[in-house]
Amino acid sequence: MKAGEQGQILAVNAGSSSLKFGLYALGARHPHLSGSFEGLEPGGTPRLKQAGQAEQALALSAGQTPFDAALQALQTLLAATPNLRAVAHRIVHGGGLFDGPVRVDAQILARLRRFEPLAPLHQPHNLDGLQRFAQAWPGLPQIACFDTAFHAQLPAEEQRYALPPASEEPALAGVRRYGFHGLSYDYLNQRLHEHSARARASGARALLAHLGNGASLCATRAGRSIATSMGFSALDGLMMGTRSGAVDPGLLLHLLHQGWDAARLEDLLYRRAGLKGVSGLTADMRRLRASSEPRAQEALRLFAYRLRREAGSLIAVLGGLDVLAFTGGIGEHDAVLRADLCTGLGFLGLRLDAEANAAALGEAIRPLHAAGSSIEVWVVPTDEGSVAAAQAAALLHFS
A 10 A CB-CB count for 52 gives: 5
284 is in an annotated binding site: yes
What is the Cα–Cα distance from 178 to 327, expressed in whole angstroms? 20
68, 147, 261, 340: the catalytic one is 147
State the amino acid at position 8 in one-letter form: Q
Characterise 266 by phi-psi region: left (phi > 0), alpha (psi -120 to 50), beta (else): alpha
349 is in an annotated binding site: no
357 is in an annotated binding site: no
52 is in an annotated binding site: no
* Sign (positive or negative) of CA dihedral 19, 20, 26, 32: positive
Buried b or exposed e, range 274-308, using 16+ CB within 10 angstroms: bbbbbbeebbbbeebeebeeeebeebbebbbebbe
Helices (H) then strands (E): counts for the chain: 15, 14
334 classed as catalytic: no
From residue 229, give the alpha-carbon distance in Å to each of 33, 165, 364.
33, 22, 26
State the amino acid at position 215 in one-letter form: A
Chain centroid offset of residue 56 CA = 26
41 is in an annotated binding site: no
210 is in an annotated binding site: yes
CB 36 within 8 A of CB 20: yes
212 is in an annotated binding site: yes
332 is in an annotated binding site: yes
Give residues with Cβ within 8 angstroms of 376, minimum separation 6.
196, 198, 199, 322, 323, 324, 367, 369
What is the Cα–Cα distance from 128 to 135, expressed in whole angstroms? 11
Length, in residues, of the chain: 399
CB 236 within 8 A of CB 352: no
139 is in an annotated binding site: no
Indicate the SS3 state at residue 350. coil
213 is in an annotated binding site: yes
30 is in an annotated binding site: no
**What one-character-per-residue DSSP string does 120-177 give?**
TTTHHHHHHHHHHHHHHSTTS-EEEEETTGGGTT--HHHH--SS--TTT-GGGTT-S-
333 is in an annotated binding site: yes
A 10 A CB-CB count for 79 gives: 7
Nearest to 231 by CA among 170, 310, 289, 345: 310
DSSP 8-state symbol, 222: T
Q: Which helix (H) or strand (E) holds 87?
A: strand 84-91
384 is in an annotated binding site: yes
- Binding residue positions for substrate: 90
**Which active-site residues does the annotation give?**
147
- Binding residue positions: 13, 20, 90, 210-214, 284-286, 329-333, 384
- Binding residue positions for Mg(2+): 13, 384
